[in-house]
Amino acid sequence: MSEIDQATDPAAMIEAYYDAGWTDGLPVVPPSDTSVAAMLAGAKLRGDVTVGEIHGRNAVVTAESLAINAVMAGCRPEYAPVLVAAVKSLCHPDFAYHGPASSTGGSAMVLIVSGPIATELGINSGHNAFGQGHRANATIGRAVRLIMMNALNTKPGFLDRATFGNPGKYSFCFAEREDTAWEPFHVSRGFGADESTLTLYASNSLQQVYNQLAATPEAVLRCYADALYNLGSPNVYGFNQSLVVMGFEHADVMRANRWSRRDVQTFLMEHCRRRVADLKRAARLPDDIAPEDETTWRYAFESPDDLLIVCAGGAGSWSAVLPGWGKKWTRAITTRIE
């Protein structure tokens, strides 16, 4: 542990963390020897163990720095294994941290927890799944951002060059609903149903999609496709991944019509498209409009697997689409929570 300063007043200590530039703008919980040791015990790691490293950036996350940031964020020790999985995901070569962490696109690090641990830790998957009010959701997501800022030196205005950023950059963690129409998300990504996983996904926007009348999958999914491929969307570049978080009323429409997750992915892949001429009129593609551009389609996705479909949320005719960041410049990473 590094002893930097002394204080006796907790409020003064909180101010000292602000002064050191170690907060996300909200007050942090000042760590103690006891709380950091408890967090390390929760992670089942020694403090000097390297949890993850961004190659070429001289950036390392040790178990100790993970634990300190987790305490600061307000995490309970039992959340620590989720954070370990999140850091391993951040440092996975295919996530390609530098782009989604530093881009003007200002991505939120979306953390999706699947499997039994979600219930054990009380990670909300239902009403207000993306919103406030649940400690696990709020503090796990917050800890990951603090780790990025402090341990990985991704500070706003320095390595983080977001034009706007978005509120999800403070914290964005939710759990998959267990009573879904299909096999659990992590099973679809090759894990066992009794395992728990953390999926890390970079997204620079979230749009809620409403449809209270549709009784057919096609009608619901046309709304998703439109939202995923508007003229200002980063998906215009093509071949991003995108996340669809389906509310259970919409999932019920899929279930009633016997549509599988693959059916949904395929439909969206085929319908997330725009005419080249429209993209050129909006200057999202270069060059003058040629006659064939009026009948030539440009697709957002090249594979059904580019669409990540997760169920969550409470009652109501809503779902959410979260377009991905940056072509194939990053991929969602799913890591087993040990």
Partner 1 sequence: MKMFDPTTKRMGPPRLPLAPRPASLHGLRLGLVDNRKVNSATILEKIADRLAAKHGTRVSVRDMKRSPSHEIDANAVAALKRDADLVISGVGD
Residues interacting with partner 1, by CB under 8 A?
Answer: 1-8, 10, 13, 16-17, 20, 22, 30-32, 36, 55-56, 58-62, 65, 68-69, 71-72, 93, 96-100, 146-147, 150-151, 153, 326-330
How far is 107 from 103, CA to CA, in rounded Å?
8
Cβ closest to partner 1, residue 36 vs residue 337: 36
Helix (H, G, I), strand (E, B) or coil at 115: coil
| 3-state class (DSSP) for residue 54 | strand
Question: Least distance to partner 1 from the beta carbon of 69, Å?
Answer: 5
Nearer CB in complex with partner 1: 117/202: 202
Rounded Cα distance between 38 and 253, Å, is 45
User: What angle in degrees, to the nearest 10, is found between the helix axes of 33-43 and 63-73?
Assistant: 120
Whole-number Å distance between alpha carbons of 59 and 50: 11
Sheet strands side by side (includes 307-311): 207-210, 318-323, 242-246, 307-311
Please, what is the minimum distance in Å from the beta carbon of residue 174 to partner 1?
A: 25
Nearer of residues 56 and 291 to partner 1, judged by Cβ: 56
2 vs 295, beta carbon nearer partner 1: 2
Q: How far is the CB of 68 from partner 1 (least distance, A)?
A: 4
How crowded is residue 4: how many other Cβ atoms within 10 Å of its Cβ? 7
DSSP string, 133-185: S-HHHHHHHHHHHHHHHHTS---BTTTB--SS--GGGT--EEE--SS-SSS-H
The distance of closest approach from Cβ of residue 233 to partner 1 in the complex, given in angstroms and rounded to an integer, is 17
Strand-pair partners of 252: none
Least separation in angstroms between residue 13's CB and partner 1 is: 6
**What is the smallest separation between the CB atom of 135 and partner 1, expressed in angstroms?**
20
Give the long-range contacts of residues 215-218, CB within 8 A, separation 24 or more. 215/253, 215/256, 216/253, 216/257, 217/253, 217/254, 217/257, 217/259, 217/263, 217/264, 217/267, 218/267
* In the complex, minimum distance from the CB of residue 26 to partner 1, in angstroms, rounded to a whole number: 14
Q: Which is nearer to partner 1, 262 or 327 (CB)?
A: 327
Distance from C-alpha of 228 to C-alpha of 116, rounded to nearest angstrom: 30
* DSSP designation for 292: G
Q: Which is nearer to partner 1, 51 or 129 (CB)?
A: 51
In this complex, which beta carbon is closest to partner 1, that of residue 22 or of residue 299? 22
Give me the least distance between CB of 41 and partner 1, in Å please. Answer: 16
Tokens for 64? 């100790």
Nearest CB to partner 1, comparing residues 62 and 125 = 62
